[in-house]
Amino acid sequence: MPVEIHGRQHLIFDADDTLWENNIYFERAFDEFVDFLAHSSLSATQVRDILDELEAANAKIHGYGSHRFGKNLQEVYQHLCERHVCDADLATVMSFAERILEAPMELLPGVEDTIAYLAACGHDLLLLTKGNPDEQQMKIDRSGLAHYFSHTRIVREKNTSVYESLAVERDLDIARAWMIGNSPKSDINPSLDAGLNAIYVPHERTWILEKAEIRQPTRSHLLTVERFTELRELFR
């Protein structure tokens, strides 16, 4: 049976790869890195697997962001390089990540109009993103969307306790609260575990470390939309 949604809702949005492009710039930096590494036997996929393993470990300690990504690339380079590693090479590797910050702000199709529509309908819009605080704030400022959100929060990691604390601190009625995002790991599963509703908006280039099997909710609603603009049909 379709979910019927009535009245004012609390709509909590993920940022990266939900509102704007993000991972594609990291992928381009990785492609540059593989070309520069020029390993004699390892394929790009094999190098990627090594990087993914390192990133999964380092994220727990150092968090996320383009600078951290650059440091991870340097570690992989030092581990896999088949020639003498010099400071100039390490600087080149870091430059691949540094250029991520120079990438244009590219809102995903229909995002701005849809956000404006939902705000005009009287819904409470919030933004919840994870990563390096300065870097995430820069993207929020450049997006031109900040004024639509009643509250913005940047966290180190998104887990169930983050959603629970957000609901308490913002006095959200969780029956009318929806987490909207592209990451099963960070957006969907932990928000459902906290008792919120969730809307999965798939992005074909979602970072592999953000992928997970989506758990079916036991006390809330889970919806999937193929396009961000479909939110206009759900929340009127």
Put simply, whether the predicted model's pTM sits higher than 0.85 gets the answer yes
Look at residue 4 in the predicted model and tell me its pLDDT.
78
What Å distances lie between residue 125 and 1, 8, 81, 206, CA to CA? 26, 10, 47, 23
Instruction: State pLDDT tens for residues 52-88.
Output: 999 999 998 998 999 999 999 999 999 999 999 999 9
Q: Where are the beta strands (DSSP E) in the chain?
A: 10-13, 124-130, 151-155, 177-181, 197-200, 222-224
* CATH number assigned to the domain comprising residue 80: 1.10.150
Same domain as 142, residue 87:
no
Residue 1: per-residue pLDDT: 44
Q: What are the Cα distances from residue 148, in Å, to 25, 39, 68, 111, 126? A: 26, 47, 30, 12, 8
Could you tell me if 120 and 217 lie in one domain?
Answer: yes
| Residue 2 resides in a domain | no
Q: What is the CATH number of the domain that holds 112?
A: 3.40.50.1000
Cβ pair 50, 223 in contact under 8 A? no
Strand-by-strand arrangement of the 10-13 sheet: 151-155, 124-130, 10-13, 177-181, 197-200, 222-224
Q: CB-based contacts of 159: which residues, under 8 Å, 6+ apart?
A: 190
Residues 148 and 217 in one domain: yes
Domain containing residue 58: 23-102
Select from 44, 70, 102 the last residue of a domain: 102
97-117 tens-digit pLDDT? 999 999 999 999 999 999 999
Which residues have a Cβ under 8 Å from the Cβ of 103 and sit 6 or more positions away? 25
CA angle centred on 23, ends 39 and 160, rounded to 5°: 120
Please indicate, yes or no, whether residues 199 and 113 belong to a single structural domain of this protein: yes
Question: Do 90 and 183 belong together in one domain?
Answer: no
* Same domain for 115 and 226: yes
Q: How far apart are the first and last CA of the chain?
A: 19
| Ranges of the chain with pLDDT below 70 | 1-2
In a domain? residue 85: yes
Domain count across the chain: 2
Burial profile 182-196: b = 16 or more Cβ within 10 angstroms, e = fewer: bbbbbbbbbbbbbbb
Going by C-alpha positions, the residue among 29, 210, 26 that lies closest to residue 129 is: 210
1 part of a folded domain: no
Query: Do 93 and 27 reside in the same domain of the chain?
Result: yes
Let me know if residue 5 belongs to a domain.
Answer: no
pLDDT at residue 2, as a whole number = 65
Integer Cα distance of 203 and 184 in angstroms: 11
